[in-house]
Amino acid sequence: MEFRSVFVSCEHGGNDVPEEYAPLFESAEELLRSHRGWDPGALPAARHIADRLGVPVQFAMVTRLLVDLNRGTSSPTLFSGLTRDLPPAEREAILERHYWPYRRRAEEEVRRLIRETGGPVLHLSIHSFTPVLHGVVRQTEMGLLYDPANRLERDFCGRMSRRLRASPMEWQVRSNYPYKGTGDGLILTLRRRFPESSYAGINIEFPQGLYLQNRERWDQLVLETGEALDRCRRPSRRSPGGKVPAP
């Protein structure tokens, strides 16, 4: 099936700290630079993919240590250890200033695309994962996270995986790894807002280790991912080549 429109987002694009909350982070420079503060590489990947597909990208630069835009309000990790003990009124102010505007904008954009094109809309949420978490080494170069019960998502990720694995680079691609595609996140919220026939949400997880240690291979992975996305969303269309912009 051909997707009539694409929405690209990047919830953990930066590790910026709003000035009014700077005192909370005075001793957290190392934490902010780590994967706990942001998703290294995710935003340049999202920008390239959006450019390749000819669509804008919605992204956030505020650190997830202030509030995690990719968590539901009942999640224990919505706020980090630096902010969860703030008074309720201050936490609510953070939500009103940073969380809800981002969430509402994403939902409004998907709703607009469905209204204007009739759907289905393909939502690509771009993230990156740390190579080791809790002592466990992650064994893949890309994770495609989707709901196995959703035919649109399942079929699209199947086409993506086959195309990337067939590359001369022999990319390692795994489904619903290193996280489950049905877990908490912006996509889960939007799945509950829109019918399966109108909305398909896929998280693409790139490897931070590759971004930090082998930029040439990283650039090639992002380039080929953009090409594969373009071909798979419109299988009948032949896509031209392109280059990865400098991050």
pLDDT at residue 46 in the model: 98
DSSP 120: P
Query: Which strands sit side by side in the sheet containing 57-59, from one edge to the other?
Result: 57-59, 5-10, 121-129, 199-207, 142-145, 173-175
pLDDT at residue 242 in the model: 39
Question: Across residues 103-111, what is the average pLDDT?
Answer: 98
Q: Concatenate the DSSP letters of all residues of 53-119 into one string.
A: HT--EEE--B-TTT--TTS-TT-TTSS-TTTTTS-HHHHHHHIIIIIHHHHHHHHHHHHHHHHHH-S
The two tokens of residue 44 are: 């340049």
Between these two residues, 194 and 134, which has the higher pLDDT value? 194
Contacts of 166 (CB under 8 A, 6+ apart): none
Question: Across residues 4-28, what is the average pLDDT?
Answer: 97
pLDDT at residue 123 in the model: 98
pLDDT at residue 246 in the model: 38
225, 146, 65, 83: CA torsion to nearest 10: 170
pLDDT at residue 247 in the model: 36
Q: How many residues does the chain have?
A: 247
Between these two residues, 233 and 110, which has the higher pLDDT value? 110
Give the tens place of pLDDT for each residue, 196-247.
999 999 999 999 999 999 999 999 999 999 999 999 987 654 444 334 333 3
Name which of 169, 173, 143 is nearest 223 in CA terms. Answer: 169
| pLDDT beyond 50 at 38 | yes
Contacts of 232 (CB under 8 A, 6+ apart): 156, 159, 160, 163
Q: What is the CA radius of gyration of the chain?
A: 18
Question: Across residues 176-186, what is the average pLDDT?
Answer: 97
pLDDT at residue 243 in the model: 41
Give the tens place of pLDDT for each residue, 61-100.
999 999 999 999 999 999 999 999 999 999 999 999 999 9
| Domains detected in the chain | 5-233 (3.40.630.40)
pLDDT at residue 1 in the model: 66
Mean pLDDT of the chain: 94
